[in-house]
Chains A and B, each alone.
Chain A
């Protein structure tokens, strides 16, 4: 019954490993399957370079907000106000850019700060006054939507200056055009080179990590599995990179998004702040008694959410080239759904950035695929709802079985 400490270490078989990590790989497999499914149903439109670019542009803001939302959900809270913050900060940026004629290099940081303040205003009530986040942010959702109507005086504002629009519509220029071996096919050689370099780096660091783990006697995943996983991910990355390079290359937003995903993955897995958020979500009282300032931590997760929502607000405004009072309606639901599809637990303490990102893309691909097929918003909502339920059911089922 009792397993002795001296029991010999056994390396898990591939089967065991798969069973233990079924959630993460299952999610990735689901995304790939869904993409292939729509690729088939749309007669190959989905993977077309133009559409892939659109997919990124349409989903970037959901992904960006899912990063912040995941932290909030892991901390054991929820934020219903992000859609309204999107509209509010988008509106403020429009006023500053269009009405006051400020330069975007001033407006962008200013709006991020304002988003942080909005987050702080809500985080204060949640963290220090112990009002449930559901209620605080429900109030915030109404308050900031109302404020948006007020500041925009019920009218959309636009168009934006060209330089601000580049945030959403710009692409990373082809710095390496002079090296392009196939100018007829590849239109942005830099994008392709970047993807190849990143894939090479990922493989290098993956192997290096395994070495250090061996050195320290830490368990590695089975080697065959590592090769398979690296192989599939690299192949997919190279394929997508190639497709994009035959169009306009990397959208600016993609770069912003990728950097943020990397940053938040690092924060959640390697930093003390991330660790403390998980501990707090798992057991707030125990975390507090371990010397963690849980109030401050909660407060800052909301500030962080506000900043990310502001960024998303500007990206959307720039993309639509107008700030409207109705921007971002219902976004909070997409963002929250992305986190739960990605395996976050509604009771806190559980969830991963990679999961939330994949969850966001699953939703995005479904939206995109169904739009191409000409299915209306009615079916889209219906299907998305069922997918959310199925994903969470899968989680619960797995947990009870294990």
Chain B
């Protein structure tokens, strides 16, 4: 029974000035799903990089026992050779190549450099059926969704005779249906005796699949929980991660709701690429002062597209409809006009769309309202510095100074910089698109606190989130979207995971 496939003992890894891992121990039994959790920066990814040989033996202290032997991997291929395959959060697929080409990339079935296509395709077919994909092997990666791409990555791992599969945040960018499919697949693999390590922030998913949970905090092992011995609640896990009880994951708020700020009427938008396809149909909604309004929906429901098309027509074409602020119609046809009208949009993808990563905190903070720290086109250094310093302390951005480059900040702090940027434009309505995606529990709490403060100041908040508990915990009112339509409007009292899912399912039947 005591079939330990992997044991990492006393792993210590230091980077210049930082101890990223401090005497970490991890024991994984063969055939189990082992979850690795912890706040961002706790050392999960570093630990997996040590294991897979990204950091070669000798650059860390401690021992790795795999398959009853001490292993010293000096490259990734060393560990892959023994069946340790890691799938990173950012998928490593070539978008314009086919599924088959991607699966066997670097590992082609070939004789003397000539690829054996028939065998490649038939083996791909076999692998795809194992992960439940029905796409033909010649389909290009760019033509399938993120969920399916993730499955292709897994098929690629299977092609390498994987024994220990490591998944870093596999469901971070998947919707619920795709996540469920992926988790089911993992459980299927477990039946066949495969071992997996899964890193995730989504505690409900971990609860669903994990046999054991190892919690890391600040580079050290906190504890390993056995899910079969006791019923482990999410709060129990969080307690281990943050080192304190988190009474409530959502800070309390007394809503003081005022007049209507933003009102959108009869909003119709056609698809950006498929130009004759109408994507949004007659969307109507409003946000009042001091109110936090949520938009729930599945991936592809049109939530991001709705707000982006409103924010300076950043998405879609043939956009028709009216936008009102304080009951007066406003022009939001370009981004500067939308900003002038009092809107701000914190994007979903902060690295691609939110930050200039190689610029420092100060430059990012003032970017959207540079004229406020300049006169006649000349930047007033001292004024700019003061603004950045103020926001850094107000939003508690952890950095060594305002001159630190955004790329070196943790996810939560990056998000706070994006928030600073938009708060500095003094918007009346702040649109937040997945504001807590990929950031740790502690930072999430801080973001919620900021949201509450803004609402208390009388700003209107419109929040898109794929995490339903988050919407339920923070919003006063929730719109439900599906297939480009608003299909329900639920008050705080009416809203629950069930009522939201019911609204989505019912609307699906109608069309």
Task: Give the B-binding residues of A (Cβ under 8 A).
Answer: 1-5, 7, 9, 212, 216, 218-219, 270-273, 275-276, 278-279, 282-283, 285-293, 349-350
Among B20, B336, B359, point to the contact of A279 (Cβ < 8 A). Answer: B359
Chain A residues with CB under 8 A of B201: none
- Name 23 interchain pairs, CB-CB below 8 A, sorted by A: A1-B20, A5-B392, A5-B397, A9-B401, A216-B385, A218-B385, A270-B379, A271-B374, A272-B370, A272-B379, A278-B363, A279-B356, A286-B354, A286-B355, A286-B367, A287-B367, A289-B314, A289-B354, A290-B367, A291-B336, A291-B368, A292-B367, A349-B358
Task: List residues of chain A with CB within 8 A of the CB of B381.
Answer: 270
- Residue in B closest to A285 when the chains form the complex, CB atoms: B353
Whether B367 lies near A279 (C-beta < 8 A) is: yes
Interface pair B335/A288, CB less than 8 Å apart: yes
B382 pairs with A278, CB closer than 8 A: no
Choice from B359, B374, B393 contacting A5 with Cβ under 8 Å: B393
Cα-based distance from A307 to B370 in the complex (angstroms): 27
Q: Tell whether B398 is near chain A: CB-to-CB under 8 Å.
A: yes
B384-434 at interface with A (beta carbon < 8 Å): 385-386, 392-393, 396-401, 410, 421, 425
In the complex, the number of residue pairs spanning A and B with C-beta atoms less than 8 Å apart equals 100
Assembled-state Cα–Cα distance A387/B314 (Å): 44
Q: Chain A CB within 10 Å — which of B18, B314, B345, B401 has the most?
A: B401
State the main secondary structure of chain B at its contact with A: mixed
Does A282 contact B371, Cβ atoms closer than 8 Å?
Answer: no
Size range of the interface on B? Answer: 35 or more
Q: Does B352 have its Cβ within 8 Å of any Cβ on chain A? A: yes
How far apart sit A5 and B398, CA to CA, in the bound complex (Å)?
6
Is B339 close to A, CB under 8 A? Answer: yes
Indicate if the CB atoms of B363 and A275 lie closer than 8 Å.
Answer: yes
Known contacts A1-B19, A289-B347, A291-B335; 19 additional CB pairs below 8 A are A1-B218, A1-B219, A212-B382, A218-B382, A271-B377, A272-B371, A272-B374, A278-B356, A278-B359, A279-B359, A285-B352, A286-B353, A289-B311, A289-B345, A289-B354, A292-B367, A293-B334, A349-B356, A350-B358
B382 x A4 contact (CB < 8 A): no
A292 to nearest B CB, angstroms? Answer: 8
A7, A272, A287, A349: most-surrounded residue (chain B CB, <10 A) = A272
Distance in angstroms from A307 CB to nearest chain B CB is 18
Q: Which residues of A contact B392 (CB under 8 A)?
A: 5
Chain B residue numbers with a CB within 8 Å of A350 are 358
Selected from A2, A272, A349, the residue in CB contact (under 8 A) with B41 is: A2
Give, as a whole number of angstroms, the nearest-CB distance from A163 to chain B: 35
Residue on A nearest B20 in the bound complex, by CB:
A1
Q: Is the CB of B357 within 8 A of A283?
A: yes
B111 within 8 A of A: no
Chain B nearest CB: distance from A382 CB in Å?
33
Q: How far is the CA of A3 from the CA of B400 in the complex (A)?
A: 6
Q: Is the CB of A282 within 8 A of B396?
A: no
Kindly provide the distance from the CB of A349 to the nearest chain B CB, expressed in whole angstroms: 6
Q: Report B40 CB to chain A, min CB distance, Å.
A: 10
Chain A residues with CB under 8 A of B114: none
Say how far A162's CB is from chain B's closest CB, in angstroms. Answer: 39
- Does the CB pair A4–B363 fall under 8 Å? no
Question: B401 — which chain A residues lie within 8 A by C-beta?
Answer: 9, 219
- Chain B residues with Cβ below 8 Å from A275 are 363, 367, 370, 379
